[in-house]
Structure 1
C-alpha cells in the first residue's frame, strides 16, 4: 500500500499542468515605488529570481497553491512571505526601507523565519559563522550560543549542544540523516564545510520531527543554493593555517538552465602536527582529507527533484598514545613538525546518497526522500596496512511527509521515517569492539500548526520502534512515544516563545554490546545489555527584543532526564587499559540559559557590538554533577564594516574575545578545568569592481594562550590545545549567463 501511494504522488507530480504568474516587488512608501533587481528565493522549489528594472518578475510553470519566499534588496529590510498563487491575481510583495543593518533575516529548512519558530531553532549562514575564518566546520559551529565541541587533537571534533553529543545529537545534510559511528568519542563530525550554505541548530529534544535519538538536538546542514536560471557561477579558494601548516584548497561550479540545475564541489585538506603555545608540536595530530559533492536538481511543473551525492575520505592521526613506561607531556610532543602518515590513525571513507522529490498542489505538499549512507572506519594501532578494527556501517533511509492546509489558519503534517542499518566487522580484523548487528527503526508522526494574528501554536505526537538483531541471535526491542507543544507571540519589536518537548533514545549497539579496546579513546569499553530506553522532557522559553539598533534575547531552559545512559570509568584494567562501563542513572536534570545581545548604534552604522553568554548545570538525583559538561562562556565580538568604492576594499575588521569560566563541577575520576581567554582577529577584503577576488587574514588565539578545553579527550594526559594560529584565505569567483 505504501509503495502504491508513493507511486501515485510521483505520477501527480509529473503529470500536473503548470502556469505562469506575474508579480512585482514594491516599497512601502506612499507611491509604492517598484524595487529593481530585488532577489526572490523560492525556498520550496530551490529557485532564485531577480526582478527587472521596474521591479517585475515572472514565475513560470508552477501550479496554484502556496510557496515560501525570501526576498531581499539593497536598502530594504529582508522579508519572508507566503505567496498565494492565484491565476486571477498578480503577486505583490512589499519591502520596508531599512533603518538599520542588524543580522539578516534567516529562514529555517521548513520555510519559516527563525523568530517564527516555536521550537528552539537557530539558523545561520555559514559565512556569518565564519567572519573570523575557522579551520574546521565544528570550530565555526562554536560561534552559535549553546554549542561547543569535544575534540581529539585538531582532526577529530564533535559538536556538543547544551551538554549533549554523540548519539544524542542527530546530523542531517538536507533531508538525509547521517550515521558515522557517532557513539565513539573519537569519531568526528561526518560533514565538512564544503558546499554548505547554512546550518540550523535545534537545541533540546527534537524527536518529533527528526526521529529517535534526537534527545539533545539536531544539526541540519543545507547546501548552497543553485545558480539563478540560465546562469553559471563558480569559485576557487585556498587557505593556509600557520599552527599546523594546514593547506585547504576548494573549488566549485554552479550551472543552471530553465529546469536543470547542477552544483559540484571538491576540496583537499592537509595538516601537519599542530604547534602548542610552548612552540613544540603535538605528535601525530596530523591529518589529511578529501571531499567531493554533486547536486542535481530538476524542476517539473508541480514538483522538484534533487539528487545529491557526498564523498569523504580521510586519514586522521590519533595523538595521545605512547609506549613510555613513565608517561608525562614529553611523551606526546615533538620538536619536528611532520605530516607523513603515521600510526595510530583512523582511515575513514563515507558515501552519502540522497534522492528527494517534492510535490506542490493547491492545498497539499508531499515530500518523498530516499537515502543511503555508508561509513567505513578502520583503526590502525601499530600497522600501516592492516587495521586492528575494521567496521562498515550502512544505512538505508526513507521519509514520506504530507502537509495539508486544512484552513487558512491550520496546517496538518503527517509523516513516516524508517531506517535499516547494518553494522558489519571485517572477519579478518584482529579486534571487534561492537558485534555485527542489524537495526530497524520505524517512526510515524503527526503535527498540527495553528496561526492567527500574532499568535502561533504547534503540537504533535510521534511513535517510534527500534529493533536490534545481533549476530549471536540476541534481539533487543525498544518503543517510544514523544510529544511537543508550544506557542509563540510576535509583536513588532518583541516576541515570546515557550514550548515543552519530549525525546526518546534507545541504547545503541555499542552501549549494549561493546567488549574491546577502543584505540581512539585509549580505553577498554564494556557494554551493558540491561540498558533501557533513555527519555527526556525539556521546557524551553525565550524573550527577544528587536529595536532599530538593539537586539536582545534571553533563553532559559530545563531538561528532565530519566534512565540517562553514561560511560563510567572503573578501577579495572584489561589489556593495559582502564575499563569503562556503560551504566544508567535513574533521574538527572540539566538546566541553564543562553543570553545574547547585538548593539548597532545609529551614530556609528559601521559598528556592530555582539555578546553571548551560555551556561549549563547538570546533576543526578543525588545532586552529583554529571561528567563532561561544557564550561560557562562569554563570547564577545566587535565588527567594523566599511563601504569603500575603491578597487581595493577592506570590507570589515573583527575582534573576538571568548572567556571560558573554570569548570569545577565534576564527577568521580573527572579532572577539573581552569578558566582561560582566547582572542581572535581578522580582516576581510575584496579587490575589483565586482569584488571577484576576496581575501581574509588574521589569527586565532592571538595571545598564544596555553589552555585545555574541558571537553578535550586529551585533557587527562595534560595535553594543551593549539597555540596561536595565523591564517590567510584567498578566493576568486566568476559568473556569467548561458
Structure 2
C-alpha cells in the first residue's frame, strides 16, 4: 500500500510537468570521443556519444542532477547540474586519457554508488564491454575470465557454479538485480538460472564483508545486473546477439527491444541456446553433455526526478543432459543405461551410437530446470534521504529423469517457492557520514512432487535480518562498516517412503498411511542465529596510489542438504548423507590491498586470510578395503563433515599501457589460495585430510591486445588479441578415501580479434572471432566434476575420467538497431 501511494503521488506531481534537455560534445586532446557513456546519476536516463562526440538527453524532468561521463581508458567526470523548465543546457567536456582505470563505480555491498578506490571491501566490477567481448559457455565462465580469484566448479560446458577464493555453493550469494537467486543451489549439476545475454554488468565481492544481503555470503557475492534502457529519446531501440561455437555446435541467439521516454520505460528480452555434446582429443564426443535453454523477460518502469519503480518478470527453461561417464572397458567408448537396479550391469551396457552422440536431441536421461521470477523494485528520494524497496516471488522447479525403463518418470522432482523482501533507508548525510539501515529476508517452501528419489525432505524456511551500515569520508580517507543480525528457522515434518508394488520405485507416503514405510527424514525444527560485521578503510596516499584494508565476520546457517540429506541425487550420481546436529559457520577474514595507477602502468595486489569455525565439507565414504561405497549404478556415497578451517592467498593484477602506443594493452593476473582443515586429527596428514576440497591451483593469465584504427568507413576498428592461461599442478587436495585426486598443470592458448563495423550513423556492429585452446590441449581442470566420472580402476589409454573441452572456434555478432 505504501508503495502504491508513492507511485501514484509521483504520477500526479509529474504527469503535466515540463521538461528540459542536456546536449554537448565529449572530446579528448581536441578529438571527439565516440561511444562515451553519459548518464544522469541515480536515474535511468542517459545515452552514448555518436561518432562525432555529440550527445543529447531530452525529456528530463527539471531538478538537480549529477551527470556522469565515462569511457574506458579515460578518467571519469562528474558534474552537478540544475535544470529549469524548458531549459536546454549545452556542455563541452574534455576527458583525460588514463588507460589504467581502477576507479569504477560499484553498488554491491555499499549504501550508495561508490568508487572502487573508496570502498574498503575487495570488490571487482566486470563491465558490459568485458561481458560482451568474452566468449564462454555461460555467464559464470565469463566472470571467471574477468575476475582473478573467481573460479567455477563445472559439470560440462553449461553448468558452472561460482567459487570465490576456494569457497562455493551456498557460501557464494548470487544476486540478480539485487534479488537472492534461490534455486536448488546446493546441487552440483546445474548452474545459475539467468539469461547470459541479458546481463549488462556484474560485481563480485570477495569475502564476508557484505552486510546488505543476509546469511550465506561467507565466500562473497556475485551480483548480476540485467540490462535497463538508459536512452530517453522516446524511440524504440534494440539489439540482436548471435553466436556459434564449433566444438559442441552451440548456437545462441538473443534479442532486446526497449523504449524509454520522460516517465516510462519498457524492455523485452529473450534468448535461445542449444548445443550438441562437446568433444576432446581423449574422450571423443562426451555423451549427454548437450543442452537446450530458453529465456524470456520483460520490464515496465516509471520514473520521475525523485526515483523510479520497475516491475519485472522472467522465465528460464533448461533441458540439460546428465552425463554419467560409463564406458566400454576396452574401447573406452561411452555406453548408456537401459536397465535399472540389479538388472543394470555397468560393464555390459550397450555402446552409444554415433547418431546419438552427434545430435541436439537430449537422451531420455536428462534434467529439466525451470525458474520463474516476478518482482517489483523501487527507489525514491524522501527529503534528503532515499528509500529502496524490493519484493520478489520466485519458483524453481527441478526434474531429473533417470529411469531408462520409464523415461517420463522423474527420479527427483522438487519445487521451491521463495518470497524475497528488502527495505533500505539511506539517511541524510550528517557530518560526512552516510548511513543505511535495512531489513530483508525470505520465506521458502520446498516440496517433492511425483518423484522416486528423495535426497532432501519437504521443508519450510523463514529468514530475516536487520542491519546498519555507515560510511565516513574526509579528504583522502574513507572509513566504512556496519553490523547485521540474522535469524533463520528450518523445519519439516516426518517424511516416509515406501516401495510402490506396481512400479518397484520408491514413493512418498503421507503420515496417515505409513504401514511398511521407512521414516527417511524424522521431523526437525531448529533456529539458527548469527551476527555479521565489517569495518575497513580506504586511503588515497597520492593521486596514483591507494591502500585499503578490511576485517569482516560472516555467518552462514547450514543449508538443507548439509543437515537433512539422506538419499540419492540422481543428477549428481551421489548419495548424500547430512547431519542434523551441525552448527552455523562463522568466518573471520582480513583483507589488505594496494593499487597504483600511472599513465603507462597499473597494478593491484590483494592479500586475504580467512578463518572459519564449523566449516562444512564433503568426504567420500569407503569400505574396510578403502574402496568407495557404491550402488549398482556406481553412484558413490558422500557424507558431510564439520571442522575448523583456514584459507589464505592473494590476487595480483598488472596492466601495461604505454601512452606512446595508443590502443596497446598487456594485462596479467595471478591468483592463488591455500585451504587447510584445522581438525587436530589431520594435522600434518598432507593429502590424507589436511587439505580442504575444491581448492583451485595457482592460476596466471596474460593477454595482449592492440587496437588498430582503420581508415575504412565500414570497419572502423580491429583489435587482435592473444591470451595464455596457465594453471599449476594441484598437489594439495583432499585425498582421504579418494575424495579427490591430484591434477597435473596445464596451459591454454586463445587467440582472436574484435572488429567494429559501422553500418548506420552512430550504429556500430561488433564482430568477434576467437579460438579457445588453439593447440587442442588435453587437460582436466581440478574443479571439473567430470574428472571423477570413472567406473574402472585402470584404463588401457592411461586416461581416467572425462576431460575438458578441446579446441573451440567461437564467433559472435552484436547488432544494435
Q: TM-score, normalised by structure 2?
A: 0.83
Give SS of 2:272's match. Answer: strand
Deviation at 1:462, TM superposition (A): 0.4
Provide the C-alpha distance between the structure 2 equivalents of 1:36 and 1:20, rounded to a whole number of angstroms: 26
Higher-Rg member (1/2): 2
Give the match for residue 118 of structure 1: 120
Q: Quick check: 1:77–1:95 contact (8 Å CA) kept in 2?
A: no
Give SS of 1:194's match. Answer: helix
Matches within 5 A, 1:485-504: 485-490=535-540, 491-504=542-555
Matches within 5 A, 1:263-282: 263-278=267-282, 280-282=284-286
**2:554 is aligned with 1:554:** no
Q: Quick check: 1:260–1:298 contact (8 Å CA) kept in 2?
A: yes
Correspondence for 2:781 among 706, 709, 725: 709
The 3 A distance-change label for structure 1 pair 323 and 727 is closer
Segment of structure 1 superposing worse, 276-285 or 444-453: 276-285
Give the match for residue 631 of structure 2: 575
Deviation at 1:72, TM superposition (A): 3.1
Deviation at 1:156, TM superposition (A): 1.3
Correspondence for 2:208 among 198, 201, 205: 205
Provide the C-alpha distance between the structure 2 equivalents of 1:698 and 1:47, rounded to a whole number of angstroms: 34
Provide the C-alpha distance between the structure 2 equivalents of 1:36 and 1:249, rounded to a whole number of angstroms: 27
Give SS of 2:106's match. Answer: coil
Q: Quick check: 2:28–2:97 contact (8 Å CA) kept in 1?
A: no
Q: Quick check: 1:270–1:288 contact (8 Å CA) kept in 2?
A: yes
The 3 A distance-change label for structure 1 pair 312 and 43 is farther
Give the match for residue 399 of structure 2: 378
Give the match for residue 469 of structure 1: 491
Segment of structure 1 superposing worse, 622-631 or 688-697: 688-697
Provide the C-alpha distance between the structure 2 equivalents of 1:455 and 1:95, rounded to a whole number of angstroms: 28
RMSD: 3.1
Give SS of 1:715's match. Answer: helix
Give the match for residue 648 of structure 2: 591
> When the two structures are aligned, how many residues end up with a matched partner?
725
Give the match for residue 636 of structure 1: 702
Q: Quick check: 1:233–1:253 contact (8 Å CA) kept in 2?
A: yes
Deviation at 1:235, TM superposition (A): 1.6
Segment of structure 1 superposing worse, 590-599 or 687-696: 687-696
Q: Quick check: 2:153–2:784 contact (8 Å CA) kept in 1?
A: yes
The 3 A distance-change label for structure 1 pair 23 and 528 is same
Deviation at 1:580, TM superposition (A): 0.8
Segment of structure 1 superposing worse, 663-672 or 86-95: 86-95
Give the match for residue 679 of structure 1: 749
Correspondence for 1:285 among 283, 289, 299: 289
Give the match for residue 77 of structure 1: 75
The 3 A distance-change label for structure 1 pair 186 and 62 is farther
Correspondence for 2:534 among 458, 474, 484: 484
The 3 A distance-change label for structure 1 pair 531 and 447 is same
Deviation at 1:325, TM superposition (A): 8.1
Give SS of 1:492's match. Answer: coil
Gap regions ≥5 residues in structure 2: 337-351, 495-522, 624-628, 684-689, 791-800
Provide the C-alpha distance between the structure 1 equivalents of 2:31 and 2:296, rounded to a whole number of angstroms: 45
**2:667 is aligned with 1:607:** no
Q: TM-score, normalised by structure 1?
A: 0.91
Deviation at 1:265, TM superposition (A): 1.3
Segment of structure 1 superposing worse, 706-715 or 575-584: 575-584
The 3 A distance-change label for structure 1 pair 37 and 216 is closer
Give the match for residue 186 of structure 1: 189
Give SS of 2:813's match. Answer: strand
Q: Quick check: 1:214–1:503 contact (8 Å CA) kept in 2?
A: yes
Give SS of 2:141's match. Answer: helix
- Provide, for residues 670-689 of structure 1, a one-character-per-residue CA deviation record: whole Å limited to 9, x for no partner: 10100001111111113335
Provide the C-alpha distance between the structure 1 equivalents of 2:444 and 2:471, rounded to a whole number of angstroms: 32
Segment of structure 1 superposing worse, 648-657 or 116-125: 648-657
The 3 A distance-change label for structure 1 pair 123 and 94 is farther
The 3 A distance-change label for structure 1 pair 50 and 599 is closer
Deviation at 1:278, TM superposition (A): 3.7
The 3 A distance-change label for structure 1 pair 177 and 377 is same
The 3 A distance-change label for structure 1 pair 62 and 448 is farther
Q: Quick check: 1:355–1:371 contact (8 Å CA) kept in 2?
A: yes
Provide the C-alpha distance between the structure 1 equivalents of 2:153 and 2:73, rounded to a whole number of angstroms: 41
Segment of structure 1 superposing worse, 468-477 or 20-29: 20-29
Matches within 5 A, 1:718-729: 718-729=801-812
**2:796 is aligned with 1:733:** no
**2:326 is aligned with 1:317:** no
The 3 A distance-change label for structure 1 pair 661 and 401 is same
Give the match for residue 563 of structure 2: 512
- Provide, for residues 242-283 of structure 1, a one-character-per-residue CA deviation record: whole Å limited to 9, x for no partner: 100111111111111221111111111110011112471001
